[in-house]
Amino acid sequence: MPAAGIAPGGSGKEYPGNLTPFVTVTCVVAAMGGLIFGYDIGISGGVTSMDSFLLKFFPSVYRKKHADDTVNQYCQYDSQTLTMFTSSLYLAALLSSIVASTVTRVFGRKLSMLFGGLLFFAGALVNGFAQAVWMLILGRILLGFGIGFANQSVPLYLSEMAPYRYRGSLNIGFQLSITVGILVANVLNFFFNKIKGGWGWRLSLGGAMVPALIITIGSLVLPDTPNSMIERGQTEEAKTKLQRIRGVEDVDEEFDDLVAASAQSKLVEHPWTNLLQRKYRPHLAMAVCIPFFQQLTGINVIMFYAPVLFNSIGFGDDAALMSAVITGIVNVCATMVSIYGVDKWGRRFLFLEGGVQMLICQVVVAACIGAKFGIDGNPGDLPKWYSIIVVLFICIYVAGFAWSWGPLGWLVPSEIFPLEIRSAAQSVNVSVNMIFTFAVAQIFLMMLCHLKFGLFLFFAFFVVVMSIFVYFFLPETKGIPIEEMGQVWRSHWYWSRFVEAEAGHGNGNMEMAAKVV
């Protein structure tokens, strides 16, 4: 079914339907899958700055932290075992996302979410009762398996359920729940760190069972998407479900497109091999480049090492945790700005504005830290105004990320893939995200020790590169039904050379699958 000619921001096709209370509640519940990812990001940085936790599991780091204050502050947390505790989760998520691709395609999005919740629950249990480092890392691996399943299925679920006019806002609910998870974790770390007896870290780690239960129960009560039902042969049930989701009886055009998309997708026997075809070059490029760049904004340096980072630049334990809470609040509020604006201002505008904002802040923070800490990492006494400036610019940086690369790094890949490669391409997207999250987590503390304040300039360089990439290579996808997305590539100055031969089929057709989106 050929796609009609469209200009960025509009589409030749419009399907009847409303933003019904049913679909709103469904998307809110599904988006809670982001809580497990966010809670983990927030909690891991917090507990690694707690003295009682370090003393029990990482005594060498504890001794270095409390050594003479004249030692190099940049290097006090440099420990490969400590970073393995944090980063092992992302390696596990990478591996599980590959399996999750098949589960999501063959058994539906719901089952993948259920597996994610159960595995995350098991990991939280092991971590909460951990007695040795190996138990911590085992728990982190189980948490990672859970995150791999959830991050594979939730963005696809949201994009397939949402009416195309509201796809951006509803999909960003996933990122909003990630930020809420980070904030809740930071607040809990702050209070649990004050518990006498030094066992508050157990509550922090074990508390991950709560978001795990939310997504587990949610996955049991959520309806499946019409796309997934058609893919699995439940055609009549899918039409009834689509009518309920859209709130209208007349869904024939959209439903027929979904069925056609599913039929064509079944002709593809090897979606992984298919990804390498020339006509899918734009999709593969975005599946790799967007998550790659998202991690090299440097945001994970701030978010899961915020307390450690603030502690390293002269804040006390309580002040470091409170600063992390402040950045968490900024993160949530700025994500709400993205929910409001993504379907009004477009994806490209937010990407580019956020890039400029992050770049300026990273240069300023590097200058501030460099001026006080220099090369030797010995700052002397830090005045209060200095701390306020550093936190202020880190907050402005977090805001820039939270309304651009944060939510859009998940939204854009989930809305551009045709149905026949959707699960495989989303798996590539999650895998690349986790590879570089793992890499950044594993080497960040070592980089801080060796690059010192230059670490922020390292990430600033990549912000420049990614903004240039978006400006030249990412087309606008605002307000375009997924089944029409093929036209976006065919009208692009660069990608058209790869997809123009497919103008009548494939790229445009398949996406119809998610027109629900």
DSSP for 392-425 reads HHHHHHHHHHHTTHHHHHHHHHHHHS-HHHHHHH
Closest Cα to residue 368, out of 343, 385, 350, 344? 385
What single letter denotes the amino acid at residue 170? Answer: L
- Read off the pLDDT of each residue in 41-58 and give the average, rounded to a whole number: 84
Residue type for 121, please?
F
pLDDT at 10: 42
86-124 as b/e: b if 16+ CB within 10 A: bbbbbbbbbebbbbbbebbbeebbbbbbbbbbbbbbbbb
* pLDDT score for 501: 52
Task: Indicate if the pLDDT at residue 505 is higher than 60.
Answer: no
Residue carrying the six token digits 């399943």: 149
* Span 117-139, pLDDT tens digits: 999 999 999 999 999 989 998 99
Tell me the pLDDT tens digit for each residue of 264-319: 777 776 777 888 888 899 999 999 999 999 989 988 666 655 666 676 666 666 77
pLDDT tens-digit readout, 70-82: 455 557 666 777 7
CB 327 within 8 A of CB 396: no
**Residue 2's pLDDT is what?**
24
How far, in Å, CA of 493 to CA of 473, rounded?
A: 9
Sort residue 17 into left (φ over 0), alpha (ψ -120 to 50) or beta. Answer: left
Considering just the CA atoms, what is the radius of gyration of the chain in Å? 23
- This prediction has a pTM of 0.79
Torsion sign (Cα): 417, 215, 193, 330: positive
The Cα 200–Cα 345 span in angstroms is 44
pLDDT score, position 6: 27
Please state the three-class secondary structure of 196-256 as a single string: CCCCHHHHHHHCCHHHHHHHHHHHHHCCCCHHHHHHCCCHHHHHHHHHHHHCCCCCHHHHH
Q: Of 68-77, 291-300, 384-393, 456-465, which range is least confident?
A: 68-77
Instruction: Please state, rounded to an integer, the average pLDDT across all residues of the chain.
Output: 82
Q: Please report, rounded to a whole number, the percentage of residues in the chain having pLDDT higher than 90.
A: 29
Give CA angle at 440 (437, 443), nearest 5°: 140
Q: Tell me: pLDDT of 458 over 80.
A: yes
d(CA 413, CA 426): 7
CA distance 6 to 485: 9
- pLDDT recorded at residue 42: 83
Which residue's entry shows tokens 């801080």? Answer: 448
Query: What local confidence, expressed as pLDDT, does residue 511 receive?
Result: 39
User: Who has greater pLDDT, 409 or 507?
Assistant: 409
Residues 160 and 167: their CA atoms lie apart, in Å, by 8
Higher-confidence residue of 213 and 249: namely 213
Rounded average pLDDT over 412-431: 86
Q: What is the pLDDT of residue 513?
A: 37
Residue 439 has pLDDT above 60, yes or no: yes
- pLDDT, residue 311, reads 67
Please, which pLDDT band fits residue 230 given cuts at 50, 70 and 90? confident
Residues 189-214 have a mean pLDDT of 90
Instruction: Please give the angle made by the CA atoms of 65, 67 and 72, to the nearest 5 degrees.
Output: 75
Span 144-158, pLDDT tens digits: 999 999 988 898 888
Q: Answer yes or no: is pLDDT of 324 > 70.
A: yes
Mean pLDDT, rounded, for 59-70:
72
Under 8 Å between Cβ of 301 and 444: yes
Per mean pLDDT, which of 87-96, 250-259, 334-343 is the most reliable?
A: 334-343
498 is written with which tokens? 């790869």
